[in-house]
Amino acid sequence: MAEIVLKVHPKDNVIVALKDLKKGQIISYGGAEYELQNDIGAKHKFFTQDLQAGDEIIMYGVLVGKAQEFIPRGGLMTTTNTKHAADPFEYRPYQYHWTAPDVSKFKGRTFNGYHRSDGRVGTANYWLFMPTVFCENRNLDVIREALHNELGYAVTDKYKKYAHHLVEAFKNQEDLSGIMLNAVPGGANQKSDRLFKNVDGIKFLNHQGGCGGTRQDAGTLSKLLAAYADHPNVAGITILSLGCQNLQTKQLLEDIKLRNPAFDKPILVFEQQQSQSEEQLVADAIRKTFEGLIEANKIERSPAPLTALTVGVKCGGSDGFSGISANPAVGYTSDLLAALGAKILLAEFPELCGAEQQLIDRTIEEAAARKFIHLMTSYNDQALSVGSGFFMNPSPGNIKDGLITDAIKSTGAAKKGGTSPVVDVLDYTEPATKPGLSLVCTPGNDVEATTGKAASGATLILFTTGLGTPTGNPVCPTIKIATNTSLANRMGDIIDINTGGIIDGEKTIEQMGEEILEYCIKAASGEVIPKAVLLNQDDFIPWKRGVSL
């Protein structure tokens, strides 16, 4: 029989409701009984003891808040009676012992990927368009419309046909309510519709940078674009430049070579202020890219070891179940990958607030630990200087669904990284080079974080969500994982995996972790296509290193 409540850690003085509970209901758990003083919605928490103002609130075995007033045993945790608090953190010599999970069933397994000349292996084969400045975004949009529609990568055909049906109905003075989208044929992004079967997509990195900001902004953008050009999922690049912007093409090309001296992918450069006309620029870019696609299509998938995978782990639209179902399940997948010798990337530094000491104690090298402390402290200080701070990270949706303090949200979010040692700490856009778990400095913002993970080399992203979010990435297939069955059923068009069975008592965290890894192997091989990829959810937001939570 499935439990209706859960105490995550023996030290906790809060209990999580797995179902909606009523005021006055007697809850029996762990040999004790609790009379509820309020209605407790699923995902929310009640207290196991009377608390006075200033008393510590413990969840996941760590400090996550302090009581602001008297709270009775069985009372509901709210934003009024609970405020964020977290233990201080520091570097301390610590011997971390890790027991790796049993990976015998995955030993010797392979995925079918795209092998690059430098030895890295992509899970997809994309051609990438990037502007050096926002002035070229319109030209990218024109090229996208032309190439996506003609080469079979567009996913909006059914909506265009739907709009056409509405227009015709309006002209004929018909009732528009009778025109249904699901009755309109067409619109799938199917491989069978493509001219180039071995090119998984043509991607466009529209952005608002490259000029008008600081030179530092342009330099950061250059390193980000260089990282995407060098990404193992990218076969070739077309660069569009205006000519007079801060981010000069020369700097971008130098940053690409600096990142990878052996870089040998085709790069096509078109500068508008040196062209005869905009029309000629667009036509030349389309023709030359088409010729590049012919060559990229000659690359075929072939077996690669699982050690060639780099998996980013991310949460967004989180809820009170994120830290007890999807995130721990992804964490077990992370541990499996670490034990197999693959790379795992845990980012979102504002969402590691409260989990710092645990991560520091897991970090193998002192220099990496101190780098993490510096990045976390300076980032939070910058936020505090403008009247914010990591403690203000939870969104209204997070709070509504049970994540009352940032430490609760963050400690649950850190579960995605599993329990393996931290092998490296990376600043924004720095590449992951060491097998195992690396921490990557990015904002918590969904798109800025996934953009940063791909820049550090993620070839797949595991994205957990309790509320539902359509985030994807242009070059890194993003796999959506629901924390609860209700979400998976309601938003099945964007969800790939449901971990709600953990909440319902049908599956263990370990079982779900293994299922997620099996899905990763299939997605890396192109055998299954994540929903975010099918829908062309190609979200890309560069971080300017300002305050973004």
List, for residues 101-130, the tens digit of each pLDDT value. 999 999 999 999 999 999 999 999 999 999
| pTM score above 0.85 | yes
Q: By C-alpha distance, which of 458, 517, 512, 511 is closest to 109?
A: 517
Q: How do residues 427-436 score in pLDDT, each as one tens digit?
A: 999 999 999 9
Alpha helices in 342-484 (DSSP H): 356-362, 366-385, 396-400, 406-413, 446-455
pLDDT at 47 over 70: yes
Q: pLDDT at position 48, please?
A: 96
pLDDT at 217 over 50: yes
pLDDT at 184 over 50: no
pLDDT at 523 over 60: yes
Question: Residue 365 half-sphere exposure, CB side, CA atoms within 13 Å?
Answer: 10
Cβ contacts of 31 within 8 Å, gap of 6 or more? none
pLDDT at 189 over 70: no
Extract the tokens encoding 6: 């859960």
Phi, psi of 115 (to 5 degrees): -85, 130
pLDDT at 297 over 90: yes
What count of residues does the chain have?
Answer: 549
Say how far apart CA 323 and CA 303 lie, in whole Å: 34
Q: How do residues 321-337 score in pLDDT, each as one tens digit?
A: 999 999 999 999 999 99
What would the mean pLDDT of 72-88 be, rounded to a whole number?
93
Give the type of residue at 477.
Answer: P
Q: What residue has token string 């508008």?
A: 272
Q: How do residues 479-514 score in pLDDT, each as one tens digit?
A: 999 999 999 999 999 999 999 999 999 999 999 999
- In DSSP notation, 131-198 reads ESSGGGHHHHHHHHHHHHHHHT----HHHHHHHHHHHHHHHTT--GGG--GGGS------GGG-S-TT
pLDDT at 540 over 90: yes
Per-residue pLDDT band for 176 (boundaries 50, 70, 90) equals: confident
pLDDT at 10 over 70: yes
443, 543 in Cβ contact below 8 A? yes
